[in-house]
Amino acid sequence: MDIITPQRLYHGTTDNYLPSFQNKLLNSQYWRPGRDFGEGFYTTISVGQARKWAYRGLRSSLLGNARACVLEIELRTIPASCQPLIFLSDSLAWAQFIMLHRLASQKGEDPCHQRHPDIIIGPMADSDTGKIIKEAVQLNKDAHWFYEQITRSMRGRRMDSLQLGNQVVFSSESWESALALVGYHIYMGGRWVYHDCSSEAQSL
């Protein structure tokens, strides 16, 4: 499979984590279980979606002076041993994969029967997936029910793959050399301010 590079990706976070990301983008000790595609570094092709993730991270931050931050990342190469999993659209198989990984509660717990994919690309689940997975467990619901729930908006409207949004998840630190932090956006005073990493490096 060929993936043409370079490609631009975005990751939403808060600026207090920026020094850590400038040192290393992929650090598996910080990856949390119970997410859509399992433990990994979550990115998206949409800067707008990354900004939503950044705002969400800001709301849960314990630091009062933290600011929303979006990393701009360049995918420069594809490792030769790449094992991708690509969901071109929402489907029952996609929902089953999300449900199994959302149910994983312990770090290192992986429901994949074989090796977990190195990179996973596919739609995001919509609505409040954490709440939905709890209901699925309590009511003993299957993946078909889960699929119907995660493809609907908070108002109950059915959404297609483009409306759901996109995520590209790196599940192995072996991708570190393939990625480069090229810049970052910080929300300051009602506007997003962009910082170019190459310009900052030249000024040092």
3-state secondary structure 69-81: EEEEEEECCCCCC
Where are any strands of DSSP class E within 76-152?
84-86, 119-123
- Report the alpha-carbon distance of residue 54 to residue 25 in Å, rounded: 16
Total number of domains constituting the chain: 1
- Helix (H) or strand (E) holding 201, with range, is helix 197-203
Residue 189: predicted pLDDT: 81
> Domain range holding 21?
7-203
Structural domain contains residue 150: yes
Q: Which two tokens stand for residue 66?
A: 């933290």
In a domain, 2, yes or no: no
pTM of the entire predicted model: 0.91
Is the separation of the CB atoms in 166 and 159 below 8 Å? no
Task: Note whether residue 75 is domain-resident.
Answer: yes
Which residue would you say has higher pLDDT here, 155 or 151? 151
**Under a CB-based contact definition with an 8 Å cutoff, are residues 50 and 194 in contact?**
no
**Is the residue at 61 inside a domain?**
yes
- Range of weakest confidence among 92-101, 108-117, 170-179: 108-117
| pLDDT greater than 80 at residue 199 | no
pLDDT higher than 90, residue 187: yes
Residue 157, in any domain of the structure: yes
Q: Give the separation between CA 119 and CA 40, rounded to whole angstroms.
A: 9
Over the stretch 96-113, which tens digit does the pLDDT of each residue have? Answer: 999 999 999 899 888 987
Residue 1 lies in a domain: no
Residue 49 is assigned to a structural domain of this protein: yes
In a domain? residue 162: yes
